[in-house]
Structures are given as structure tokens and as C-alpha cells.
Structure 1
Amino acid sequence: MKPFISRTRPFARTALTGALLLSLTAVTACTATGAQESGSSTTESSSTSSSTSSSATSSRNAAEPRDVTANDFPVNITESTHPAANPPAEGELRVTLLGTGSPIPSTERFGFSVLVQAGENNYVVDAGRGAIVRLIQAGVEAGQVDGLFLTHFHSDHVLSIDDLWMTGYVPAFGGREGAFDVYGPEGVTNIVDNLREAFQNDVDVRVADGELERDTTGIEAHEFTEDGVIFDEDGLKVTMFDVQHDPADVIQPAKGYRIDYEGKSVVISGDTIPNENVATYGKDADILIHEVAAFQDRNVLPQVISHHTTPDQAGEIFAQAQPKLAVYSHFVNGIPGKVEGISDEEMIARTKENYDGEVVLGQDLMSFLITDEDIEVTDQAGLAELAAE
């Protein structure tokens, strides 16, 4: 068992015991200050958030290096202060939420995507809208991405496949040396073949112009029709498992992934209704990343809610799996201007109806470093402080 979870800060690391970290303390902090911070994910109090916001505004007005906010991240790769800009130490596993959103376009929550770093290797799970931008903001060049794993083929999970592939073979953005590998369930080959055909002109022109060597421009599909271990290299093992995206099980394929490295693990649910496989494969994982959907009126748009997992349902899955840290991503939390979502506090409270462990509301570019001793969490406030140093 990991004895504690800590939140990173520049030049210092604060260790917080489970009783003090995240989850319901976020509610307590907001209640105590009489303020509610939209988009908060953990135990940041309103005073901390106000300070961060004020600092960010002052930096922009002074045209100095900018603090980091939900919509304002450093984009210069060579100067990125994001923890993912440097490979994790030997034996450590870093997980960064590139995008935590849904099909709804958002400047705060990009399309769903997760970066997993183990040793010198960088792998991405799903490639939602804007994944390449978040990678750059995290200090990772497209050409440094070694491969992509897909959970399913809804547009909000695949829109950036071509961007990851083609930006990665451009020398200025890392210049991938070989083919771009795409792993996943049945149907991956069809997607890759059609992308290859759609963008053949780009490849041919760049090669003819002398910009690229043809063997650096490839994209290869690795399709698996059965669940189980689909990748096992350099100590990193990826296991694919079935989930269910709708009550009738019409949406196929629909998969989740468990990723293991040096005794550390992260499980990604994929888009799913409550599913026992997530609890089974998530059992005792260091981090379980689960999708979530909630509206203020629980009876609104049942056809949407029925295709996802509500906070109270996710709480039941977390209770069965007992991960060291439960993390929400792929938020379907209302529809701007049409359907009202719920507050962060209510999302936590609904989860806590069935689960008493640690819960984090994920943010774009939030990063988790899993070590032998703990899980270090760097949220947007932490990124702002790092950028300000």
C-alpha cells in the first residue's frame, strides 16, 4: 500500500495523509470560505485560487512569463515547466490527463486523452480533440510519442490520430524515426488504412520535396480481436478488457485498459456504463481513471446518462476496486446553455454515497507521478506555481 499521496509544489513537497487529501475536504474548504471555485479538482481553497487568478492576470498585463490557468498554458516546448517534460525516474510511472472532456467542444476540457510515461517511453491512450496541443503544453514533442491505444472509435476519442501521426514525422516536432503504432480492438486497421489513404498526398509531397524519408512517415495498425495482454515491452504491459458503452451493447468495440509498469498500475475505464470488468481490472490499482456523467436534473436526457456512469454508480465501482486514487475524467457534466450540470462539490458528494476513498476531479494537464512511496499530484494550481518560478 502506498502510505500517502502528496501534491507537488516548487522546491517543496507537501505530504498529506488520506484523511486530509482531496475528496470531501474540497467541500469543507469551499464551505468554510463561503466560495465555490468552478473547475476545481482537489482541496484548493478559495484563497489559493484567488491568488492564482490574480497572479495570472498581473503576469499577462506585464507581458511577463505567464502563470498557468485552465485556458493559459505555456506552449514553448523548450521552456515548459510541466512535470511531463522530463522522463520519470527509473521505476516510476507518470500519468498526465491531456484532455478530460467529452464530445462537447470546450477550451477548458479538451477531448479525452491520457499520456502514460514509463522510462523513456511515451504512450497515449485515446486521441481526442486537441491532444497534440496539450502534449506540446506538457513539453512532449509529437515525435516522442511511441504509440497510441484506442478504447473505441467515437469521434471524441479519435479526432487527433492524424495530428499525432503526421505532426510526429515532421523533423521540427521531434521527427519520429519509424512508423507510428496504433493499438486497439477490431476496427483499428480500417481506421489506419483510411487515414493513410486520406493523407497520402502529404506524405508524397514531403518526401519528394526532400523534407522527409519515407520510412519515417508510416502508420501501422495493431489490431486485437481478443481481450488480454496486447503489449509487453520494456517492462510496460498493457491489458485490454471489455466494457459496455450502452445498455443494449450496440456500441462496439468498447474497451478499457490496465497498464502495469514496475509494480505500478493505472486503469482507464474508457466510455462505459457501470461495468464489473472495470472493478475487476482496477482492483488495487494505483490510479483508476473513470468517466463520469451528471446533470442537475437526473431525469433530463436519459439517453445520454444511460450511456455513461453517474457519480454514485462510479462510487460503487471504486468501492469494489479500492484503487489508491480514484480519478474522474471524460466529464459529461451538463451541456452549456442547454442542460445544467452539477457542482464539483455535489459530484464528490454523490460519489461519497458509496465510496469513502480518495477522489480527484481531473483537469486537463493534471499529472500524477506514481513512485514506490507515494502518488504525487500536480494540479493546475501547482502548474501555475511551477511556471511562476
Structure 2
Amino acid sequence: MAIEVTLLGTGSPIPDPNRAGPATLVRTGGQTLLVDCGRGVLQRAAALGVGANALDALLLTHLHSDHITDLGDVIITRWVTTFDARPAPLPIIGPPGTADVVRATLQAFGFDIGYRIAHHDDLNEPPPLEVQEFTDGPVWERGAVRITAAPTDHRPVEPTLGFRVECEGTAVVLAGDTVPCASLDRLSSGADALVHTVIRDDLVQRMPLQRFKDICDYHSSVQQAAATATRAGVGTLILTHYVPAITPGEEDQWRQLAAEEFDGRVELGDDLHRVRIG
């Protein structure tokens, strides 16, 4: 069974007119899974013909703002565009702290929710959600799709998760933000593909502000992500969350940096770049 990976948003915390915030869509086994929900995620999903009401689950790698900016939009839009009499709750799976963030988001949208319930006869309850927090181990098993989580290292952001999505012999790992770590190596071992956020530390270190340079402390460089892919024995490395954003025409530079540590297939590109695995 193939797994289709679409990079909905490949940007960073810095607003970019050409790149939405971090978000990846995974489709396999008849299921549609959203990993993280950075700014603009639903607009990008709409370009694929995927609405919020088509999501089977939302997976959060961590609670940094750029990865959850549009959480409220996903929750509310799914609620108002689902027309079943008894809509199934949206599963939201993330690290400890996720329930607090979801609760605060619902509170922030409390007036909106109240207005809609008062206005529409067929909306009687707030958005139905099913929040689950994990640090390690199985998090999802429906039909042929199985998802396992493992901790990653993005300290001082803690805890953070990577996810391994498997369907009938094909496996894709989504690393989120992290430096190389043994738990990610184990999660990725033998997978067909690794989706990894990356920075160009050689470019970031040239920036004049220490606040920018600090991001090198807890993100993987292109070469480090490639080395993780090599240790895990994956066949395809998919790069995303580019810092700084890739300048048009410089894609081969990024590929060459990855090739220093990894001799497999390297995929990168603009938002909506799609990769079929398996």
C-alpha cells in the first residue's frame, strides 16, 4: 500500500508569501492525516481538494507556535463544514500539554462557538474533539493504518514527538523539529521515507542577530538530517520547514548538502510538493 506525502507548508516562523507554515498531509489506507497545522494550512489543503471535514486525525509533533498557529481554524472549520447529525469527534494526538492548548483554543473561540450554536438549528454542541497525549509507543490503529510515536530532542521545547505511519508494509516517519537523537533513529529504522525539518546552519550563522543563530541549537542541519536517514536505512529523505527559505534556483545546493551524508533519493520543493512512497 502506497503512502502519499504532501508538504502543505514548508515555511518557518518568519511569514513568507510563498510558503505556508509547517504542515504535512499523509494519505494512505483510505485515511487522511494532518501532521501539524501552521499558518495557511487549510488554504493549502484546499488546493488539493481536501477540506477540514475530510481529516481523520490531527497529529501534533510539538507545541511551538509555528506548528499550531491554525489549530483553531482546523477545529472550527471542520465543525461547521461537517453536516452529519452525529459528527465523529476529531482525534487530536500530541505530546503532554496538547489538552491544555486545545482547551485554551476552544476558550479563545468561545464567543464564535456560541454565536454559531445560537444561529444554526443543526449545531447544538461545541466542536466534538478527542484529545490524546502520548510520549512514546502506539497512538493509532485503524484499518490498515498504524501510527507509532517516539520522543525527539528539541529542547528546551519538551516533550516533542516524531510519528511513524505504517500501512501494509510501507512506512513513513515524520520527524518534526529535532536534533539527531537515538530515539528518532529507532523510530526511523527500516522506514521507506523520512520527512525531516531542516536548517542551513551555514547561512543562519551569518545572520547578525543572536536570536536567529540560536535556532541552530535545536534544529537539524541538512547534513544532520541526511545522516539520520543514512543511519536508519531509509530509501527517501523528504526535506521541509526550510530555514532560511530556499531561494529559487538553489535547490541543488540543498540536495548536494544532503548527498554529503545520504546516497538515497532526496525530495524537496515548494508547498504542495507531493511524494508517493511504496
TM-score > 0.5 by shorter chain: yes
Task: Rate the CA distance shift 1:341–1:306 in 2: closer, same or farther, 3 A.
Answer: farther
Distance 1:341 1:135 in 2: 23
- Tell me the residue number matched to 1:182: 92
Distance 1:334 1:136 in 2: 23
- Tell me the residue number matched to 2:238: 327
For residue 16 of structure 2, give the secondary structure of its aligned residue in structure 1.
coil
Task: Rate the CA distance shift 1:283–1:342 in 2: closer, same or farther, 3 A.
Answer: farther
Matched to 1:118, the amino acid is T
Q: Contact between 1:192 and 1:220, CA under 8 Å: does it hold in 2?
A: no
Deviates more, 1:308-317 or 1:184-193: 308-317
- Tell me the residue number matched to 2:29: 119
- Tell me the residue number matched to 2:209: none
In the TM superposition, what is the alpha-carbon distance from 1:265 to its structure 2 partner? 1.1
- Tell me the residue number matched to 2:268: 361
Out of 83, 107, 113, the position equivalent to 1:197 is 107
Matched, 1:105 2:15: yes
Matched, 1:311 2:222: yes
- Tell me the residue number matched to 2:277: 370
- Tell me the residue number matched to 1:278: 184
What whole-Å deviation, never above 9, does each CA across 1:353-374 have from its counterpart, x for those lacking one? Answer: 2221111114211122334xxx
Percent identity among equivalent residues? 31
Matched to 1:239, the amino acid is T
Distance 1:359 1:107 in 2: 25
Q: Contact between 1:112 and 1:129, CA under 8 Å: does it hold in 2?
A: yes
- Tell me the residue number matched to 1:287: 193
| Deviating 4+ runs (over 4 angstroms) | 295-298
What are the ranges of 5 or more consecutive residues in structure 1 without an aligned counterpart? 1-90, 372-389
Distance 2:50 2:24 in 1: 13
Is the strand fraction higher in 1 or 2?
Answer: 2
Q: Contact between 1:178 and 1:218, CA under 8 Å: does it hold in 2?
A: yes
Matched, 1:233 2:142: yes
- Tell me the residue number matched to 1:351: 258
Matched to 2:173, the amino acid is V
Q: Figure out how many residues of one structure are paired with residues of the other and give that number.
A: 271
Matched, 1:161 2:67: no
What whole-Å deviation, never above 9, does each CA across 1:227-268 have from its counterpart, x for those lacking one? Answer: 0101111221111111111xxx32112111111111111101
Distance 1:186 1:358 in 2: 34
Q: Contact between 1:192 and 1:219, CA under 8 Å: does it hold in 2?
A: no
Task: Rate the CA distance shift 1:280–1:215 in 2: closer, same or farther, 3 A.
Answer: same
Matched to 1:307, the amino acid is Y
Q: Contact between 1:128 and 1:156, CA under 8 Å: does it hold in 2?
A: yes
TM-score (norm 2): 0.89
What whole-Å deviation, never above 9, does each CA across 1:325-352 have from its counterpart, x for those lacking one? Answer: 11101111269xxxx9993222222222
Distance 1:186 1:284 in 2: 27
Q: Contact between 1:178 and 1:217, CA under 8 Å: does it hold in 2?
A: no
Q: Contact between 2:29 and 2:167, CA under 8 Å: does it hold in 1?
A: no
Q: Contact between 2:201 and 2:221, CA under 8 Å: does it hold in 1?
A: no
Out of 117, 120, 136, the position equivalent to 2:46 is 136
In the TM superposition, what is the alpha-carbon distance from 1:279 to its structure 2 partner? 2.4
In the TM superposition, what is the alpha-carbon distance from 1:132 to its structure 2 partner? 0.6
In the TM superposition, what is the alpha-carbon distance from 1:141 to its structure 2 partner? 1.3
In the TM superposition, what is the alpha-carbon distance from 1:307 to its structure 2 partner? 1.7
Matched to 1:346, the amino acid is Q
Task: Rate the CA distance shift 1:161–1:299 in 2: closer, same or farther, 3 A.
Answer: closer
Task: Rate the CA distance shift 1:342–1:315 in 2: closer, same or farther, 3 A.
Answer: farther
In the TM superposition, what is the alpha-carbon distance from 1:215 to its structure 2 partner? 4.4
- Tell me the residue number matched to 2:164: 258
For residue 135 of structure 1, give the secondary structure of its aligned residue in structure 2.
helix
Matched to 2:153, the amino acid is Q
TM-score (norm 1): 0.65
Distance 2:125 2:205 in 1: 53
Give the aligned CA root-mean-square deviation in angstroms: 2.2
What are the ranges of 5 or more consecutive residues in structure 2 without an aligned counterpart? 207-211
